[in-house]
């Protein structure tokens, strides 16, 4: 077996930022001046002196990035354990410094469902080289990699597409003049240290490989005694060029991977795209942030946009306490345009459908569950009526989710009578996705209007 870099070293390299830089600056251009100049001069930013109420409110409440972190970001972290981004979740937004370090940092480094990765965040994938075994030499870019557990049958015949084993989907076909054989796969990544680009093999796996289909699908046999090694390999966090498995290799489509917050360019900042659900008119997958919390108000959005727009490349953590420049911020002209509340989340467009699909099965017909028909007739009117069980609350109280009994049923609030909804007779649990619950919440906060 070839020498490979132990995992601990790799993790250390990543912690130092080498992995991130490898993805962001593929040409090896990194300027790192230890004695970088102090950022800006606090007195250089003149306050906004116009008469737009929203700008004045934002300036008053969020004079600096630190205030924005304390009053807005931190708020989304505190009430719900596990909802907040913490040290185990990327990005870690708990501290002001963590928040500021999202400037220029790559997005979707850690994700739950692979479908939630945005193509624009995908980076150039790690490579594998299959040495020996007749697969031909040469680097193959990893699109995505999956370990399907299960007993290996020794692969007496060509394995199925979903056979147990390590499945590696490639950007380009492996040479498959010999579709099967023992080989050592070296996993490598480009690291940039002090401006020098190095291709480092960080792990190796020797096993029997098969080339399936058009050659872009490799399956490696994983006998019992190698399971742990394979799990370690996956735990490293292999960079996948097609992390969302949709056939598009983001790094080949976009000029460079998106960053969480892009200095000078709020519209290209992934964190902001996740608040809005889109970037440059393109839908961004994944539920809108902040989860289980009120969407940002307009002054909060303005503060974030002006902070990002005015943030300079050279800024360091000292930027935290510098005034946000509302005066020169282009968004101060029309802060209303940043309205997040209710964007696209309407009764007809979304909420009615969520209720029809998820609730109509029981809440319909001549004997709807609890006498509540959520499918037929004038459903909207019915929602404004009182709950049968908790008559002091309406099912929907426009503008106030805490007084909307139907919403409390959705989130399984402690105060409800009976089961959380939608009731699943098998698991006994509610089954709406967080995104759907967020949509209902957004709609309620915005006055629960019945649109045409």
Please choose, from the candidates 154, 121, 67, the residue with its C-alpha nearest in 3D space to the C-alpha of residue 251.
121
Output 109 or 408, the one with its CB closest to ligand HEC. 408
> From the list 111, 147, 155, 423, which residue makes contact with ligand HEC (rule: CB under 6 A)?
423
> From the list 260, 362, 441, 444, which residue makes contact with ligand HEC (rule: CB under 6 A)?
362
Q: Does 422 interact with ligand HEC (rule: CB under 6 A)? A: yes
> From the list 238, 395, 441, 444, which residue makes contact with ligand HEC (rule: CB under 6 A)?
395
Output 56 or 435, the one with its CB closest to ligand HEC. 435
Q: Does 369 interact with ligand HEC (rule: CB under 6 A)? A: yes
Q: How far is the CB of 226 from ligand HEC (least distance, A)?
A: 45
Determine contact, residues 343/277, Cβ cutoff 8 Å: yes
Q: Does 437 interact with ligand HEC (rule: CB under 6 A)? A: no
The pair of three-digit structure tokens given for residue 359, joined into one six-digit string: 């609730």
Q: Does 132 interact with ligand HEC (rule: CB under 6 A)? A: no
Gap between the Cα atoms of 164 and 155, Å rounded = 10
> From the list 9, 418, 433, 447, which residue makes contact with ligand HEC (rule: CB under 6 A)?
418
Q: Does 355 interact with ligand HEC (rule: CB under 6 A)? A: yes
Q: How far is the CB of 386 from ligand HEC (least distance, A)?
A: 7
Output 85 or 409, the one with its CB closest to ligand HEC. 409
Q: What angle do CA 232, 92, 123 make, to 5 degrees?
A: 60
**Nearby residues of 392 by Cβ (< 8 Å), 6 or more positions away:** 386
Taking phi first (over 0 means left), then psi (-120 to 50 degrees means alpha), and beta for anything else, what does residue 342 get?
left
Gap between the Cα atoms of 358 and 443, Å rounded = 17
Determine contact, residues 28/22, Cβ cutoff 8 Å: no
Q: Does 389 interact with ligand HEC (rule: CB under 6 A)? A: yes
> From the list 363, 394, 438, 442, which residue makes contact with ligand HEC (rule: CB under 6 A)?
363
> From the list 20, 208, 217, 409, which residue makes contact with ligand HEC (rule: CB under 6 A)?
409
Gap between the Cα atoms of 176 and 139, Å rounded = 14
Give the DSSP per-residue string, 381-428.
Answer: HHHTSBPSSSTTSBS--TT-GGGBHHHHHHTT-TT-SS--SS--TTT-
Residues that bind ligand HEC (CB under 6 A): 355, 358-359, 361-363, 369-370, 372, 387-389, 395, 405-406, 409, 418-419, 421-423, 425, 432
């Amino acid at each position: 077996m070839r020498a490979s870099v132990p995992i601990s070293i790799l993790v250390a390299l990543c912690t130092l930022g080498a992995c991130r830089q490898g993805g962001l600056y593929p040409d090896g251009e990194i300027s790192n001046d230890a004695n970088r100049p102090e950022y800006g001069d606090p007195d250089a930013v003149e306050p906004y002196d116009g008469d737009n109420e929203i700008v004045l409110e934002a300036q008053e409440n969020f004079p600096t990035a630190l205030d924005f972190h304390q009053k807005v970001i931190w708020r989304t972290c505190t009430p719900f354990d596990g909802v907040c981004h913490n040290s185990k979740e990327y990005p870690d937004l708990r501290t002001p410094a963590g928040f500021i370090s999202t400037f220029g940092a790559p997005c979707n480094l850690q994700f739950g469902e692979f479908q939630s990765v945005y193509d624009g965040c995908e980076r150039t994938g790690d490579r594998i080289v299959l040495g020996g075994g007749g697969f031909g030499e040469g680097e193959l870019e990893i699109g995505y990699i999956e370990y399907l557990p299960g007993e290996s049958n020794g692969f007496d015949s060509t394995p199925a597409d979903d056979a147990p084993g390590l499945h590696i989907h490639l950007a380009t076909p492996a040479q498959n003049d010999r579709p099967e054989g023992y080989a050592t796969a070296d996993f490598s990544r480009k690291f940039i240290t002090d401006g020098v680009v190095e291709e480092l093999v960080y792990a190796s796996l020797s096993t029997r490989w098969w080339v399936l289909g058009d050659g872009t699908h490799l399956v490696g046999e994983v006998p019992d005694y190698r399971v742990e090694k394979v799990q370690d390999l996956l735990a490293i966090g292999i960079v996948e060029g097609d992390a969302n498995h949709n056939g598009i290799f983001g790094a080949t489509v976009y000029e460079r991977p998106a960053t969480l917050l892009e200095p000078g360019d709020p519209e290209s900042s992934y964190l902001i795209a996740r608040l809005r659900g889109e970037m440059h008119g393109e839908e961004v997958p994944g539920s809108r942030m902040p989860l289980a919390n009120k969407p940002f108000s307009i002054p909060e959005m303005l503060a974030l946009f002006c902070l990002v727009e005015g943030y300079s490349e050279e800024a360091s953590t000292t930027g935290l306490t510098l005034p946000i420049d509302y005066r020169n911020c282009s968004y101060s002209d029309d802060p209303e345009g940043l309205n997040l509340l209710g964007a696209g989340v309407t009764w007809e467009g979304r909420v009615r459908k969520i209720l029809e699909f998820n609730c109509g099965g029981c809440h319909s017909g001549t004997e709807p569950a609890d006498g509540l028909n959520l499918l037929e007739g004038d459903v909207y009117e019915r929602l404004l009526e009182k709950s049968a069980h908790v008559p002091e609350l309406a099912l929907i109280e426009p503008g106030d989710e805490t007084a909307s009994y139907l919403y409390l049923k959705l989130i399984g609030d402690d105060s409800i009578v009976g089961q959380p909804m939608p009731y699943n007779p098998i698991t006994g649990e509610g089954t709406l996705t967080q995104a759907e619950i967020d949509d209902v919440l957004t709609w309620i906060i915005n006055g629960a209007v019945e649109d045409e």
